[in-house]
Amino acid sequence: MANNGTPLIELAGLTKSYGEGAAQIMALNGVDLRVEEGDFVAIMGPSGSGKSTVMNILGCLDTPTGGAYLFRGVHVERLTSRQRTLLRRYFLGFVFQGFNLLARTSAIENVELPLLYRGVPKAERHQAASAALAQVGLTGWEKHTPAELSGGQQQRVAIARALVTDPQILLADEPTGNLDSRRGREIMDLLVSLNKDRGLTILMVTHDHDMAGYAHRVIRFVDGVVERDDANGRAL
């Protein structure tokens, strides 16, 4: 649980609109949500429900129109662009459906990238990236490029890249969307182990009910609001 009763993430009356007047679209229409340290939350909903918008705001890739977004009690919506960048760089990890790996770059060099942006010395970057790849079961694959890896292995590299900065929360957007069912289950088993063994907090957008079944909670968005927030018996 979060320290001193403060949730890791809290959204209060969060809104996000695009356009003006008759053309205005409310992507989020008053979202209230708490995420505690150690949670594993699956976010579901139809296209246009607001799930991607809320993930972009949580990841400091977008800002809300109204309401509050607190990270460890700090009002993120009040931060400057530079401060949000630092929050994203030092506290958040990202995993995407399309892996987002550099094609001509080895696995270990892909994993080192976030540390390169931080200015971490080369030897330290290399050691941390090797350890992260070991965590996801890719020891021995450090020199391989994405073209030499399966889809599941590429997603493991992407997860290692997210882990190398030791984030406080992992934001995963359809992490199994480009994988077959077997490799999808392998990735979900990996995320479960990271949540259980490392205590890593995970928020995952998915359209797949089987993948959502691995999470502690399943939150369903409809028309820009939280329609349901259910504990998931399978993962408890």
Tokens of residue 116, six digits? 């390169």
Query: What are the C-alpha distances in Å from 38 to residues 56, 103, 168, 170, 215?
Result: 20, 33, 9, 11, 11
Structure confidence at residue 63 (pLDDT):
94
Q: How confident is the model at residue 235 (pLDDT cuts 50, 70, 90)?
A: very low
Residue 155 and residue 99 in contact, taking contact as beta carbons nearer than 8 Å: yes
**Within a 13 Å sphere around the CA of 66, how many CA atoms are in the beta-carbon half?**
10
Ordered structural domains, the chain, with CATH: 37-63+82-235 (3.40.50.300)
Residue type, 219: I
pLDDT average, residue stretch 189-205: 95
Please work out, in degrees rounded to the nearest 5, the angle formed at the alpha carbon of residue 159 by the alpha carbons of 35 and 40. Answer: 20
Residue range 80-110, pLDDT digits in tens: 999 999 999 899 999 988 888 999 999 999 9
Residue 20 has pLDDT above 80, yes or no: yes
Q: What separation in angstroms does the CA of 136 have from each of 13, 121, 154?
A: 37, 23, 11
> Are the beta carbons of 173 and 205 closer than 8 angstroms?
yes
Q: Are 12 and 57 in contact (CB under 8 A)?
A: no
Give the pLDDT band (50/70/90) at residue 232.
low
- pLDDT value, residue 1: 40
Confidence of residue 4 (pLDDT cuts 50, 70, 90): low
Six-digit token pair at 20?
A: 């003006």
pLDDT per residue as tens digits for the range 120-151: 999 999 999 999 999 999 999 999 999 999 99
- Give the rounded percent of residues in the chain with a pLDDT score beyond 70: 96
Q: What is the mean pLDDT of residues 19-40?
A: 92
Cα angle 65, 71, 74 (rounded to 5 degrees) comes to 85
